[in-house]
Structure 1
């Protein structure tokens, strides 16, 4: 009886070893432009969000903003995939009422003004497939210069219902109602 039990255990072990691959999982290295998110209200304890933006955070790495964000051309607001903004209720983006939903977020850098764009196309890689016919809203935002330089592209919200973009010494603000 004992020989039969040992033989059965041995057969099970051999069967399991043949069907199970043992190898280490390989993970990609850290993305040079890691994903981040910003939300309104900005209070992390408040789970009743009105707006959320998911975007990648490229770094300056000794370069200038004007080398990375072309003047007068559509930019994806970050790196990698286009930034996406979700409105959990109907919201004014600048002066335009936008229905609740998720949109891609683009910008066109100007000398003193940036055109902020909400677009219906989602899951786009960069601005390569940007289609202006899918625009939902545009807002012309005044760009300002700050004394402090920010290394990584950043988006944040204030309690005054304003979204701020910052990179290098450039700051752009977009109001929401």
Structure 2
């Protein structure tokens, strides 16, 4: 019969070895998790990032309208008549067609726009643009544009910008009787008047 004698010293050594093994295992696991987290890659910013503009009567009032659009850049290119052809329906931006949300009834030309979400298309020309408010939503580009879904159409003058506008820009300007949406790019801009109802 064999008798196994475990000395105090051998017990301490085995215990320390187990602690060291556990510590090494936990350290390696931690670094593996960290590497996995750091390895997650997010896409670069879109070439035509999305932006929005909101119309309010004043800073603390509820919104009147909102536009969500993608902002292509000029990058030395000729825009109107070239990149954006004249006399063709344009998504008024890049990627998805520009989305216009109306929060209170607004008058555009002679048409009353009810609260809701619409698509804003345009037909640029040298002197005038046709502004189109269309009831179709969630559209990529102007490829699926259908004229029969138009809610309103007006023509506005195309004006010369004081300085070139590198990135397509939209902003609402408050008015006493509503708001005006300004759309500018390259060396041109247009103003779209929306009137609030009395």
Q: Fold match, TM over 0.5?
A: yes
Q: Describe the SS at the equivalent of 1:133.
A: helix
Q: What per-residue deviation string (whole Å, max 9, x for no partner) do you get for residues 57-106 of structure 1?
A: 00000011222211000000100000000000111123311110000100
Q: What per-residue deviation string (whole Å, max 9, x for no partner) do you get for residues 7-63 of structure 1?
A: xxx8xx99xx8xxx84532211110100000111285x4361110000000000001
Aligned equivalent of 1:29:
44
Aligned equivalent of 1:65:
79
Matching of residue 76 in structure 1 with residue 94 in structure 2? no
The alpha carbon displacement at 1:157 in A equals 1.1
Question: Residues 59 and 29 (structure 1 numbering): CA distance in 2 closer, same or farther, change over 3 Å?
Answer: same
Q: Which has the larger radius of gyration?
A: 2
Q: Describe the SS at the equivalent of 1:73.
A: coil
CA contact (8 A) 2:170 2:181 kept: yes
Summarize the alignment of residues 81-120 of structure 1 with structure 2, pairs less than 5 Å apart: 81-120=96-135
Q: Give distance in 2, aligned partners of 1:30 and 1:42.
A: 32
Aligned equivalent of 1:123:
138
Q: Give distance in 1, aligned partners of 2:60 and 2:51.
A: 18
CA contact (8 A) 1:42 1:157 kept: no
TM-score with structure 2 length normalisation? 0.76
CA contact (8 A) 2:57 2:64 kept: no
The alpha carbon displacement at 1:155 in A equals 0.6
Q: Describe the SS at the equivalent of 1:172.
A: strand
TM-score with structure 1 length normalisation? 0.84
- Count of matched residue pairs: 164
5+ residue gaps, structure 1: none
CA contact (8 A) 1:94 1:174 kept: no
Q: Give distance in 2, aligned partners of 1:61 and 1:74.
A: 22
Which segment is superposed worse, 54-63 or 89-98? Answer: 89-98
Q: Give distance in 1, aligned partners of 2:52 and 2:111.
A: 23
Q: Give distance in 2, aligned partners of 1:148 and 1:128.
A: 32
